[in-house]
Structure 1
Amino acid sequence: MTLPATGASFTPSWHAELDLGYARFGDSTRPIQRRHKGPLRVQKHLYAEGPEVCQHIIVHPPGGIAGGDRLDICASVGRDAWAQITSPGAAKWYRASAPAYQQLEVRVAAGATLEWLPQETIIFSAAQAELSTAIDLEGDARLFYWDVVALGRPASGERFDLGHFQARLDIRRDGRLLWHERQRITGGDGLLDSPIGLDGQPVFATLLVTGEIDNDLLERCRALPHDVRGDLSQLPGLLVARCLAAEALLARGWLIELWKLLRPALLGREAVSPRIWST
């Protein structure tokens, strides 16, 4: 039997979901929820720093995100628990004829800590990447968050000439908005090379951490040797760091050095780099 032609094209896509939950039991943080649907998982939980900090590595087995794909991630960190979430490598968003989506929703209870420390996101030219992140903090909950975005693949001679990248980030504490940001970057736009835009740098990164530091530590952070164009700003209850870079490794290296300085001061623990970052 021959099916009638409809003129419509079929684009296979993945809809993946991941729902994580953490709770404190005595001196230990343990995962109490680990539900997944589709190709999105976490590896076995790790305790590189002892039982208080539960580390998870989010894995997306297909290795890249194509047009029509949707990733939905939810995480809930219960009272006094501490979760550290990272990834095994770069997230790659491929060229596509349709948008692909990622939605992240996080709740961090009073007394709890979340470190959201993924490796870089690479947006191929002609990709259509749309990301949305909502983080709700309760009471004195603490957050250490970063993201690194690389547009195109300069090492392969690919500029971000087509497609788009858009992102929304909202952070609230007890319902009050602490941070709201929207970005939309269109391939080939003049802002990619403009001094008031990305100034020709294909990589940009943001770090946001709750709390406040003194001027001495702020200057130590600013004095870190680095090959990026970056700086920090102390806002009421929130420290913000941003940079532009020629390569994702340079931006991520700068963020890691900041994390090593800021984590003891703001979270009360020395920084122990996840082993996955060295593989």
Structure 2
Amino acid sequence: MNLPAHSALFTPSWHAELELGYGRFGDTTRPVQRLHKGPLRVQKHLYAEGPQVCQHIIVHPPGGIAGGDRLDIAVSVGENAWAQLTSPGAAKWYRAAGPAYQQLDLKVAAGGTLEWLPQETIVFSAAKADLTTRIELEGDARLCYWDAVALGRPASAERFDLGHFQARLDIRRDGRLLWHERQRIEGNDGLLDSPIGLDGHSVFATLLITGEVDTELLERCRELPGPVRGDLSQLTGLVVARCLAHEALHARAWLIAVWKLLRPALLGREALAPRIWST
């Protein structure tokens, strides 16, 4: 059967949207909004730490992101509410002829707390991944945000030789810019092996948490053992932690270890790892 000429130009793609809202009612944080379109969901909300912290696991049923796909996620945390969001596994960006997109819009009202703690992002060689994240904090709102990105699949002898990874991240408090970052890595980019780039590592990770800590705690974080190159910086109102690794599991373990040290000091609660991370 001969297909019409335009059929060759058609590439199936998903456009998925998820909008979440959280409010504080007495001692409990509850979901107050949950809208979705397309293959993007959250599982039942959990209270592993008690009623103050509402945990949701964001699920993308297709399991991967291909050319033309677009994920739009908006999260709003109300006054004095606390939401913790994570994922059941790695996000995979597949090789594709065209770009795929993810946009996050995260807002936290005064007194609120948001922890954005997804598992790693794996960008296959020849993928074209464009990610944009905008975070708005009001008053004394608190944030813990991390991401870990693995370029290529070294275990399958796949180097990131084609495609690109592009990410934009802006964090503002009351409209004032706290953090502004732009990343773009092309396939086979010189930065992959340069000592001023990834220096031969295929994985890089960042943790950003609001607040300020003393030098002793920073040194404890810097001295964490493990097969990663990691360090921390204290900026005005923001702690920045970064690492380079050869495996995503090593980077994730380092992020969790840093989070376990910083969370009690800056968010006032002991760190309890979500059970989904162990499955």
Output the TM-score relative to the length of structure 1: 0.98
- Give the 5 Å matches for 1:255-266: 255-266=255-266
Q: Which residue of 2 aligns with 1:105?
A: 105
Q: Is the partner of 2:264 in helix, strand or coil?
A: helix
Q: Is the partner of 2:168 in helix, strand or coil?
A: strand
Q: Which residue of 2 aligns with 1:174?
A: 174
CA deviations 1:17-41 (Å, max 9, x no partner) are 0000000000000000010000000
Q: Which residue of 1 aligns with 2:224?
A: 224
Give yes or no for the alignment of 1:150 onto 2:160. no
Q: Which residue of 2 aligns with 1:44?
A: 44
1: CA distance, partners of 2:183 / 2:2: 46
Task: Give the superposition deviation at 1:9.
Answer: 1.0
Aligned residue identity for 2:161: D
Alignment coverage as a number of residue pairs: 279
- Give the 5 Å matches for 1:54-203: 54-203=54-203
Q: Is the partner of 1:273 in helix, strand or coil?
A: coil
Give yes or no for the alignment of 1:12 onto 2:12. yes
1: CA distance, partners of 2:183 / 2:268: 32
2: CA distance, partners of 1:109 / 1:103: 20
Q: Which residue of 2 aligns with 1:267?
A: 267
Q: Is the partner of 2:5 in helix, strand or coil?
A: coil
CA deviations 1:197-241 (Å, max 9, x no partner) are 110100000000000000111111111112100100000000001
2: CA distance, partners of 1:100 / 1:7: 20
Task: Give the superposition deviation at 1:5.
Answer: 2.7
Aligned residue identity for 2:85: I
Aligned residue identity for 2:278: S
Aligned residue identity for 2:130: E
Aligned residue identity for 1:74: A
Aligned residue identity for 2:172: R
Instruction: Give the direction of change, closer, same or farther, for the CA distance of 1:119–1:3 in structure 2 (3 Å limit).
Output: closer
Gaps of 5+ in 2: none
Output the TM-score relative to the length of structure 2: 0.98
1: CA distance, partners of 2:8 / 2:250: 44
1: CA distance, partners of 2:51 / 2:8: 53
CA deviations 1:26-82 (Å, max 9, x no partner) are 000000001000000000000000000000000000000000000000000000000
- Give the % identical residues: 82
Q: Which residue of 1 aligns with 2:235?
A: 235
CA deviations 1:95-119 (Å, max 9, x no partner) are 0000000000011000000000000
1: CA distance, partners of 2:89 / 2:79: 30
2: CA distance, partners of 1:126 / 1:133: 22
CA deviations 1:223-268 (Å, max 9, x no partner) are 1112100100000000001010000000000000011101100000
Gaps of 5+ in 1: none
Instruction: Give the direction of change, closer, same or farther, for the CA distance of 1:39–1:219 in structure 2 (3 Å limit).
Output: same
Q: Which residue of 2 aligns with 1:253?
A: 253
